[in-house]
Amino acid sequence: MIKIPQKLKDQIWWMIISVDYDYSRITIADHEINDGTLTLWLEDKQDFKNSLDECLQVDMPAKEFAKVIRAENLNSYEGTKIHPKKNFIYKTRIEINEPVRWYQEDASPVEQQWAREAVLKTILTQLVETEVADVVSW
C-alpha cells in the first residue's frame, strides 16, 4: 500500500468527481524524478491544461515508487538459476536492477511510461478501494 496524505486524497477525489468517475480520463501530463521524489502532474484527457500549474501535482517518495515497480515485476523477469553449492536448477524472478535505478538507467521509454501508469493505477485503485470500504463499513 502506498502512503497517500489526506490532502492529496481529497485533491484526487475532486479530480475523480470532475471526470464523472471515468478513471480512464485521468492522464499523466508530465513527470519528473529527482532528489528521491517522483512528481506526476495529472489532468483530465478531455480538459487539457495550458500549463503544469493548472494540473494536479502528485509527489511520491522514490521508496513508494520502488514498491510499485517491484509489485508489478517491472524490474525483473522469470528465469532460471543454478544453486551455487547443490548444483540444481530452479526458477525464480531475476532482478535486473534496484527499482528506481532500473527506471532511470535500464528501462526503455515505454517501460518508464508503464511504471508511471502503474503508479497512477495503484493510487486510484487504492484510494477507491479504501475509501469505499470505509463508507460501506458504517
**Terminal alpha carbon distance of the chain:** 22
Within a domain: 39: yes
Within a domain: 90: yes
> Whole-prediction pTM value?
0.81
Of 26, 22, 102, nearest in space to 62 by CA: 102
Q: Report pLDDT digits (tens) over 22-72.
A: 888 999 999 999 989 999 999 998 888 878 888 999 999 999 999 999 999
For residue 30, report the phi and psi dihedrals to the nearest 5 degrees.
-160, 170
Within a domain: 61: yes
Within a domain: 1: no
Is residue 58 within 8 A of residue 40, CB to CB? The reply is yes
3-state percent helix, strand, coil for the chain, nearest multiple of 5: 45, 30, 25
Domain count, the chain: 1
- For the segment 78-100, the average pLDDT, to the nearest whole number, is 89
Could you tell me the residue range of the domain that residue 60 belongs to?
6-136
The SS3 assignment for 12 reads helix
